[in-house]
Amino acid sequence: MREAFHDELDGISQSLLQMASMVKEALGTATTALLTSDLMLAEKVIAEDIHIDNLQHDLDARSINLMARQQPVASDLRTLVTSLRMSADLERMGDLAHHVAKQARMRYPNSAVPAELTGTIEEMGRVAVAIIDKLTVVMEHRDIVRAVELETDDDEMDRLHRKLISTLLDDNWQHGVESAIDMTLLGRYYERCADHAVSIARRVYYLVTGEYNTVSND
């Protein structure tokens, strides 16, 4: 019975990894759609968000079902509770990728991103995908060294976000308020996505060490 339990627990971990992989794909594709004004790619991300949501529902149902049947204690219970939280973070990251794709679609056939910001958005997309990649390793191997590294990777995202805002505030900004609103929201989507990744990494850190490695996200 305990063995069956751990098989199911492994299955839940695998599903979390699958969610992370889907979110990475969605965010990478959304960024490409945004930067190349590719409507079909944007539509793809928008249409596929439901699969991430469904995976979350399925995963949560399995976690709760497992709690009810097996009544785990201590570290197994903590792992299951943490799974529920991670799936919520990942689902939200999927929503944010979806928002990026919707922004691309809204401005199509124009580009949502003015030329002087394509580099910054490209970097934000790249950093976000790299963060999710590293997060996957953290989740799969309970790698607390990389979990801590993600805090620094997130600093890089914050730096890019500040760079984006200062471009908007520069006297040379000639794309008006509408584009500034778009870019403010896009910047926030990438930044929040990284925040959620850091939050998941902190949960892994806590599972492994029993201690918080945290200042709260703001």
Binding interface with a copy of itself (CB under 8 A): 53, 64, 67-68, 71, 73-74, 77-78, 81, 84-85, 88, 95, 98-99, 102, 165, 168-169, 173, 177-178, 180-181, 184-185, 188, 216-218
Cα torsion angle, 36, 38, 41, 44, sign: positive
CA distance 106 to 39: 9
Residue 17 vs 67, nearer CB to a copy of itself: 67
Structure tokens at 155: 């600093």
Count of CA atoms in the C-beta half-sphere (13 A) of 158: 10
Q: What does the alpha-carbon distance between residue 50 and residue 47 come to, in Å, rounded to a whole number?
A: 7
Q: Which pair of structure tokens corresponds to residue 186?
A: 């896009």
With contact defined as beta carbons under 8 Å apart, do 186 and 112 qualify?
yes
CA distances from 92 to 36, 53, 62, 195 (A): 24, 9, 19, 11
Q: Which is nearer to a copy of itself, 3 or 178 (CB)?
A: 178
CB of 6 to a copy of itself, least distance (A): 18
Cα–Cα nearest to 145, from 74, 9, 153, 77: 153
Closer by beta carbon to a copy of itself, 14 or else 71: 71
Q: Give 67 or 144: the residue with its C-beta nearer to a copy of itself.
A: 67
Instruction: Provide the 3-class DSSP secondary structure of residue 26.
Output: helix
Beta carbon of residue 95, minimum distance to a copy of itself (angstroms, whole number): 6
Residue 78 CB, shortest distance to a copy of itself, in Å, is 7
Q: Between 63 and 134, name the residue whose CB sits nearer to a copy of itself.
A: 63
Nearest approach, Cβ of residue 204 and a copy of itself (Å)? 17
| Cβ 55 to a copy of itself shortest distance, Å | 13
